[in-house]
């Protein structure tokens, strides 16, 4: 299990190494090299939190792989884990990014309980530190996606509802400012449409057809707004896609 003792804050060198490992992990993830991605992101998380992983295995490359199976969604262990050893380091942008990436890797590997634990810890930490609403919404979306794949449709719907509400709040805020870029707004539309589509899918699997149609129609409406946004701004060929990738990685 994770140690509950107070851990020292990571050194500058450890934080730089962690950032490098996250880039390495993202490279392996794009190539679908999931074992290597898991190794890199798990070690990045340990370095960013300044926290020694006791429940680990070490592969031939010497990288630690944490076992998160003992953390469960919604448990006090899961929701409070980020505060156990060093709250500030666990809630740092680097630590949360590494843990979020771990969740993505676990989900791609089909390790849904582990993925859910990671994403729920990120959600709890982001809510605790009052992170930007879009970041919290993204965490709710990730939690919902894991719950849907675990066929816990009621809880998945609750997560999607939270995500959709926060995405709408963010859209309202963006409509009142000129600082938001096209790529960021497009990503927000895509995330909102995805949450609505998955919400509708849960209703469909529960045979709540009218509810499913309502959410899926709303998803189509949002996607039409995205198409309109793209057609009005008409970015150079390839430029819009590259801008979205840059916004995702920021």
Predicted structure pTM score = 0.75
Give CA–CA dist 206/103, Å, rounded.
26
The C-alpha angle 155, 159, 160, rounded to 5 degrees, equals: 115
Dihedral (Cα; 161, 219, 123, 109), 10-degree rounding:
120
Tokens 């994770």 correspond to: 2
Q: Which residues pair with 64 in a beta bridge?
A: 58
Can you tell me the mean pLDDT for 5-20?
72
- Place 177 in a pLDDT band, splitting at 50, 70 and 90: confident
Phi, psi (degrees; rounded to nearest 5) at 179: -80, -20
CA atoms within 13 A on the CB side of 210: 0
Give per-residue pLDDT as tens, 99-127.
Answer: 999 999 999 999 999 999 999 999 999 99
Give CA–CA dist 113/75, Å, rounded.
13
Give CA–CA dist 78/39, Å, rounded.
21
CA atoms within 13 A on the CB side of 242: 5
Q: What percent of the chain has pLDDT over 90?
A: 50
**Confidence check: pLDDT of 218 > 90:** yes
Give per-residue pLDDT as tens, 20-74.
Answer: 898 899 999 999 999 999 999 988 888 877 654 444 444 434 444 444 433 344 4
CB-based contact 99:141 (threshold 8 Å):
no
Give CA–CA dist 15/9, Å, rounded.
10
Q: Residue 120 has what pLDDT? A: 96
List, in order, residues 6 or more apart from 205 with CB less than 8 Å away: 151, 153
Tokens 């953390």 correspond to: 71
- Place 165 in a pLDDT band, splitting at 50, 70 and 90: very high
Q: Residue 68 has what pLDDT? A: 41
**Confidence check: pLDDT of 88 > 80:** no
**Quick one: which H or E segment has residue 184?**
helix 182-205
* Euclidean distance between the first and the last CA atom of the chain, given in angstroms as a whole number: 32
DSSP 112-158: HHHHHHHHHHHHHHHHHTT--HHHHHHHHHHHHHHHHHTT-HHHHHH
Can you tell me the mean pLDDT for 177-192?
84
Mean pLDDT, rounded, of the chain = 79
């Amino acid at each position: 299990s994770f140690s509950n003792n107070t851990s020292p804050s990571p050194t500058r060198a450890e934080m730089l190494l962690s950032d490098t490992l996250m880039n390495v992990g993202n490279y392996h993830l794009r190539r679908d090299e999931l074992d290597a991605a898991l190794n890199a992101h798990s070690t990045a998380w340990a370095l960013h939190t300044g926290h020694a992983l006791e429940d680990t295995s070490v592969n031939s490359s010497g990288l630690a792989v944490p076992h998160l199976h003992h953390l469960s969604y919604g448990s006090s262990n899961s929701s409070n884990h980020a505060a156990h050893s060093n709250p500030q380091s666990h809630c740092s942008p680097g630590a949360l990014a590494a843990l979020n990436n771990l969740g993505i890797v676990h989900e791609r590997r089909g390790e849904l309980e582990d993925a859910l634990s990671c994403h729920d810890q990120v959600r709890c930490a982001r809510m605790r530190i009052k992170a930007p609403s879009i970041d919290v919404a993204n965490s709710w979306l990730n939690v919902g996606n894991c719950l849907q794949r675990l066929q816990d449709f009621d809880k998945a719907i609750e997560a999607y509802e939270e995500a959709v509400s926060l995405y709408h709040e963010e859209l309202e805020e963006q409509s009142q400012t000129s600082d938001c870029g096209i790529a960021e707004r497009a990503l927000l539309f895509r995330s909102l449409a995805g949450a609505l589509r998955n919400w509708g899918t849960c209703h469909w699997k529960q045979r709540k057809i009218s509810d499913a149609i309502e959410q899926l129609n709303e998803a189509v409406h949002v996607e039409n707004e995205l198409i309109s946004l793209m057609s009005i701004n008409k970015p150079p060929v390839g430029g819009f896609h590259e801008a979205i990738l840059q916004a995702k990685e920021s």
